[in-house]
Amino acid sequence: MNVYPFIVEGLQLMVLLLGAPVFVGWVRTLKCWSQGRTSPGLLQPYREILKLFSKDVVIAENASWIFRLTPYLVFGVAVLSGGIIPMLSADLPLAATADVIVLVAFFAIARFFTALAAMDIGTAFGGMGASREMTIASLAEPAMLMSIFTVSLATKSTSLAQMVRLVADTHFLLRPSIVFAFLAFVLVALAETGRIPVDNPSTHLELTMIHEAMILEYSGRHLALIEWAGMMKLFLFATLATSLFFPWGIAHVTGAGAIAATFVLMILKLCVVGIGLILIEVGLAKMRLFRLTEFLGSGFLLATLGMLSFYILE
Amino acid sequence: MTLAPIDAAYTSVILLLFTALLAAVLGRYQKPLINVSFGLAVIASILMVVAGGWTVNSALTNTVILMLGLPGLNFHMRLDPLAGFFLTTIGLLSFFVSLYSIGYVKGYVGQRSVTSLVIFYCLFLSGMSLVVMADDAVFFLFAWEIMAAASYFLVMFEDQHAQNRKAALLYMIVAHVGAISILLSFGIMAGSAVGFEGFGIYTFDAMRSAQLSQTGATVAFFLAFLGFAAKAGVIPLHVWLPEAHPVAPSNVSALMSGVMLKTAIYGILRVTFDLIGRFPWWWGAVVLTLGLVSAVMGVLYALMQVDLKRLLAYSSVENIGIILIGIGLAMIFTSYQMPALACIALMAGLYHTLNHAAFKGLLFMSAGAVVHAMGQRNMDAMGGLIHRMPWTASAFLVGCASISALPPLNGFVSEWLTFQAFLLSPSLPNTLLKLLIPLGAALLALTSALASACFVKAFGVTFLGHYRGQSIDHIHEANWPMRIGMILSALTCLVLGVLPTFTIGWLNSVTHELTHATTETSHKVFDWLWLIPLQPERASYSGPVVFIGVFFIVIVTYALLHVRQSKIKRVPIWDCGFERLTNTMQYNATSFSMPIRRIFGFLFSIKETVRLSSQSGHSAFPERYHYYLRIRDLFWVWLYKPVVDVCFYLARRVGMLQAGRIQVYLIYSFITILALLVFLR
C-alpha cells in the first residue's frame, strides 16, 4: 500500500492549521499598508490565538450545551474540509470521503451551529446575527453551487480531486464558462467568508455586524477555536479558488521535490489572492443588508451565464 | 404451506382492525385501553416492517385474492417491492409513533374520551397499509377512503375549536376532489383494458395490459396526478395541509405528514411507472416543475410561520417537492431510455421518502411534546425550553439537522443523490432540458439553504434563549414512552445517514421493478463505507468517515484543551450597560424571518400596519406602539378565495328561491307539474 498520499494528507492538514493564521496576517498586513499604517506583522494572529487559549472562559448563565459544543464542531468541520480540498496534491486518501457538494454542506454545518449558539444566549445581537447570516447564506449557497456545478459539468465530476486533475490537464481557463464561474465564485466567496462588501470582519459597530454579532458572547478557548476556524475558512476558500480555477502544479505530485515546488507555488498563489482580496476591500464600502440581494443575485446571474455558455459555446 | 411476507402484512391489518374493535369495547377503561391498543399497534407495525422489508430484500411478489369484495370482483392484494418499500416506511414510522402515543395520548385522559382517537388511529394505519397493497381499483379506492375518513375524524378529534372543524372540512373537500379525479383516471385505464371479462377490467393487471392511446394515457396520468397531488399537498393544491396537520393530535400529525402524504407518492409511482409504463418526457418535466415550485414555496412559507406545527406542515410541502423532483427526473430519464440514470434519480426520491418519514415524524413528535408542555403552538411564547426538556430538545435538534441536509445525517444523503441526478442531465438528447435542468439544481440549493434557515429559527426560537413567558417552572419533560419513540426515530435518522449503502442496496429491487436498473453502491473493498452511485471519479460520499472524522477531531480538540484545568465562569449576559434586558427583547420567530420576508415578499400576501396610540394627552406623546402583521398564502388569496366567494355568491342567489312564503312554493309546484305534463306526456 502506498503510504505517500497519507503523508501528503498529513502535510496538508499542517499547512491548513498553521498556514491559515499566516494568510490572515498577510491580508491584514496588506490592509495596513494600503491604509498607510504599520502592521503588527504576519504572526499577529498566532499571538491572538495563543492569548485566547490561555484565558479563562466566561459563559452566560443560561447558555446550554449547544453553546459549548459549537466551537469544537466548527473547528472540527473546518479541519476535515482541509483534508478534502486538494492543496498540495490531488491524490488524497480522504478525497473520496466527500465531493464538492459535501464540502458546501460542511460549511453549512458550521453556520447552522454558529447561528444556534448565537441564539442560545438570548440577546438581541445574537438573534440578529443569526437571522442575517442565514439570510445571506440562503442567497449565497445557490450561487456557490451553480458556479461549482459549471466546473462540474465541464469535468463531468463533482469529486474535487478529479475536477482539479482534469482542469490542470486541459487549457481550461480560456473557456468562457469557467471565466463566468470564477467571477461568480469570487462574489460568493466574499459573502461566505464575511468580507467587505458583505460583512466587515473588523467591525464591532452594533448594527452592521453579522458574523461578529453571532460570536459576541464567546471568550477564552472557545473564541480561539472559532477565530481559528474562521481563519481556516478564509484560507480554504482561497485554496479552493486557486485549486479549482488555477490548479497549476497540483495534480501530479510524485516526489518530495515536487511537493516543495507545489508548496512554493501555493504560497505565491495565496499571496496574489491576498492582494486581490485587499484590492476589493479597499475599493468598496460595506453594503446595506438589503442591497446584498443585488450583489448575490449578480453572483447567481454570472454563474447561470457560465452554465448557459457551457452549453451554447462548448 | 410456507409463510410469505403478505401473510405478515395481512396479519398486521387484521390485528389493527381487531384493536379498533377492542377499543370500542374497552372504552370505559381509558388507561388500560391506551396501553393495550397502542401496544398492539406497535406489534402490528413491526409485522408491517417485517413484511415490507422481507419483500424488498428478496424482491418477491405475492398476490392474494380475498374472499371479500363486490359481487363479481373480489378484492385483490399484491405485495411487490414497490408496495413493500412503502409498507416498510409506514410500519417504521407507525412503530415509533405508536410507542410515542402510549405516553402522549395519556395526556388527554381526564379531559376527554380517547376511544375515538384509538379507533380511528388503528383504522388509519390499516387504511394506509391497504392502500399500498391493493391490486384493483375498487379496493384501492376503498382503502383510500378508509384512510381519508379516519384521518378526517382524527383531525376533528379536538372538535371544541371552530378552527379545527373548519380545517377538517377543508381537508375533506380537497381529499374528495382528489379521490374523484383518481377514480376517473382508473376508469379511463380500465376502459382500454383488453382480454378481461366483467369487473376484471378493474384489476391493476388489466390496466397494466391496457393499450392506451396517447391522449388517453395523458388524460389518465394527469387525472391521477391531480388526485394524488391533492393528497400529497403539491402546490397549488396544498392549502388544506397547513390547516389540517397542525390541529390534529401530534401523534396523528406525525403519521399524516410522515407517511400519509407518501401514499400519494406511492400512487404516482404505481400509476406512472407500473400501470401506464410508457410516457413522453414532458410528463416528467411537469412533475419536476411542480416539485421545484413546491419545494421553494413550501420552505418560504414555512419560514414565515410562528406556529410551530404549521411550520412543520409547510415544510412537508417542501419535502414532497424534493421527492417529486427525484421522480420527475426519473421520468425524464426513463422516457429517453436511460435506465441507469433514471435509477439514480428514483433512488434519490425513494430515499428521501424514507428519510422524510423518519425526520418529519421525529419533528412532529417532539413538537407534540413541546405543545403538550406549553399548552400552545405559538413559538413566540416559547424559548429556553432546552433547559427544561433536554431529551426533547436533543431529538428535535437531530430532526432539524437532518431536514436541513447536514451531513452525516440522513437528509443530506437523499439531497446529495438528487444533486447527482441533476448533474446527469447533460447526457439528455434534448437541448431545452439540458439548459433548464441545472437551473433546477440551483432552486434545490436555494431550498436547502432556506430550510436550514427555517430550522435554525424553529429550534432557536423554541428551545434556546430565555423563556418568553412569566415562569418556566410549569414546563415539564416528556414522559418515557414519548422519549423512547423520539430517541428511536432520531437514531434511525443517524443510521440512515451514516450507513446509506445498506439502504441503497436494499432499495435496488424497487428501482429494478420500476426502471429495470440497479445502482452499484460501490466498487471498492470496504464497499459499505463509500457511496458511489456511478464511477468513483464522478462522485463519492462516505457517511461513516465524515461522522467518525468530525467526532474524532472534536474529541481530540476537547481533550487537548482540557489538559490544563481552567475555570468556566458563569455570569449574567452583558446588557451594554443599560437596564436589565427583558425576555421579550430577544429575536423572535417574526423578527428572525424579517430579512427573508423582505427579500421574497412578493411571493406572499403580506399586510403590515403600524399604529401609535396615546391613551392620555396629545398624540405627539404616544404611549404604545402597535404592530400588526398578517401573512397569508398567496394561493389562497388568488386561487381559492375567488372560488369560495363565487360559491357563496351563487348560494345566496339560489337561496333567493326560498322566499319562505307558501304562495311562492305553490307556484313552484304548479310550474313543475305543468312542465312535466308538457314534456313527459
pLDDT one-digit tens code per residue, A8-20? 889 899 999 999 9
Is beta strand B568-571 parallel, antiparallel or unpaired with respect to A57-60? parallel
* Residue in A57, A121, A304 nearest the CB of B566: A57
**What chain B residue is nearest to A159 in terms of C-alpha separation?**
B539
Average pLDDT estimate for B439-468: 93
Rounded CA-CA distance B363/B343 in Å is 29
A96 pLDDT band, cuts 50/70/90, is: confident
Q: What is the 3-state secondary structure (H, E, C) of A72-97?
A: HHHHHHHHHHHHHCCCCCCCCCCHHH
Residues from chain B that touch A130, judged by Cβ atoms under 8 A, are 456, 460, 587, 592
Task: Give ∠ CA A215-A217-A221 in degrees, rounded to 5.
Answer: 80
Average pLDDT estimate for A217-242: 93
Percent of chain B clearing pLDDT 70 (strictly above): 98
pLDDT value for B565:
75
Average pLDDT estimate for A165-193: 85
Residues from chain A that touch B445, judged by Cβ atoms under 8 A, are 141-142, 144-146
* Residue in B450, B456, B536 nearest the CB of A116: B456
B545 touches chain A (CB under 8 A): yes
Rounded CA-CA distance A153/A181 in Å is 11
Does residue B37 lie within any of the structural domains? Answer: yes
- Best residue in A56, A134, A304, A312 to probe B by mutation, most B CBs within 10 Å? A134
Q: Which triple of cell numbers denotes residue B64?
A: 392474494
* pLDDT over threshold 90, residue B72: no
pLDDT value for B520:
66
DSSP letter for A36, please. T
**Residue the block writes with cell 481533550:** B559
A261 pLDDT band, cuts 50/70/90, is: confident
Chain B, residues 405-464, CB within 8 A of chain A, namely 405-407, 412, 416, 419-420, 423, 426, 431, 434-435, 438-439, 441-443, 445-446, 448-450, 452-453, 456-457, 459-461, 464
* Residue in A83, A132, A308 nearest the CB of B435: A308
pLDDT value for B432:
84
Mean pLDDT rounded to a whole number for chain B: 89
Does residue B658 lie within any of the structural domains? Answer: yes
Does residue B681 lie within any of the structural domains? Answer: yes
* pLDDT over threshold 80, residue B618: no
pLDDT value for B320:
96
How many independent structural domains does chain B possess?
2
How many independent structural domains does chain A possess?
1
Which of B164, B181, B208 is the C-terminal boundary of a domain?
B208
Residue B138 lies in domain: 1-208
End-to-end CA distance of chain A: 40
The rounded Cα A247 to chain-centroid distance in angstroms is 17
B344 touches chain A (CB under 8 A): no
pLDDT value for B347:
92
Q: What is the pLDDT of residues B516-530, one digit of tens each?
A: 877 765 555 566 777
Does residue B152 lie within any of the structural domains? Answer: yes
* Residue in B461, B464, B594 nearest the CB of A66: B464
**Residue the block writes with cell 433548464:** B436
Does residue B317 lie within any of the structural domains? Answer: no
Q: What is the pLDDT of residues B156-168, one digit of tens each?
A: 998 888 888 999 9
**Nearest Cα to Cα of residue B636 among B192, B269, B174:** B174
* Residue in A105, A132, A145 nearest the CB of B405: A105
CB contact under 8 A, A217 and B466: no
Q: Which triple of cell numbers denotes residue B225?
A: 396526478
Phi and psi torsions of B195, nearest 5°: 85, 10
Average pLDDT estimate for B547-551: 91
Chain B, residues 367-386, CB within 8 A of chain A, namely 383-384, 386
The rounded Cα B49 to chain-centroid distance in angstroms is 19
Cα–Cα distances in Å, from A309 out to A152, A157, A158, A163?
14, 18, 19, 19
A253 pLDDT band, cuts 50/70/90, is: low
pLDDT value for A173:
58
**What chain B residue is nearest to A127 in terms of C-alpha separation?**
B587
Q: What is the pLDDT of residues B305-361, one digit of tens each?
A: 999 999 999 999 999 999 999 999 999 999 999 888 899 999 999 999 999 999 999
Residue A256 lies in domain: 4-313
CB contact under 8 A, A122 and B586: yes
